[in-house]
Structure 1
Amino acid sequence: MRNEDFARRFRTLMGNRSLTLKDISERTGNAISTIGTWKNGKLPKNRNTRTKVAKALGVSEEYLYEGKIKGEELIFCNEIPVHYEADISDMERAVLNTVRRLIESAKKSDDGLEALSCELLELEKRILPK
């Protein structure tokens, strides 16, 4: 069974937590090649493995496999569950997309903070009343 949403969350969580395939392999007891299939959307087959994977990534099974969060879970802004995005306004969606772009540009830039500052100033100009 292949699941694009699971794959996206899996990759995002690995990146945000600076985890490698080897890290996940060590935490779950599965081969690196198996972890690679999960990264591409193949769901772990048995319940015990699914539990280990969620624990290795520091989230609940509900979030990892279904995109549902519990109140006490900490997620990064680019890990917002899909069903939350359906309920936001156009302005909130624009802000969310800008934040996502900021994160990506800061990752790619030699001076991530300067790029972040410029993008935030542009965002402020667009959304604050004059």
Structure 2
Amino acid sequence: MPPGRYRILFEGTTEPPWSSPLDGERRDGTYVCAACFLPLFASANKCASGTGWPSFTRPLPGRVGTKADYKLIWPRTEYHCIRCGGHEGHVFDDGPPPTGQRWCNNGLAREIVPEGEELPALRGGS
């Protein structure tokens, strides 16, 4: 497991901006939770946010849950994998069309499965 992955997924930390190779990832494919491999995002919904974190305009339907996060001075909306509870990132209302949302991700919290490759079997959880 890459250093920091557990802390991000299960302790809610955030990786430094510009540290994830997934920020510049341009291949077509499916982004899966790094903990349980549940598909969370499609590459078709990836956007260049300029923030230093991989970002998307929307998750796959029914794949993430949200909750309020008060770790900073102002409240944010944190989202997590609906299957294993892994912390994936935060959602903001400053994204591009069509949703106006920016689902900002920790790159260590996910992996890409390039188009044409088989999705891995789900692990752990239920």
TM-score range, shorter chain: under 0.3
Query: TM (normalized to structure 1)?
Result: 0.25
Quick check: which has more Rg, 1 or 2? 1
Higher relative contact order (Cα pairs below 8 Å, separated by 6+ residues): 2
Query: TM (normalized to structure 2)?
Result: 0.26
Identify, as 1 or 2, the structure richer in strand.
Answer: 2
Identify, as 1 or 2, the structure richer in helix.
Answer: 1
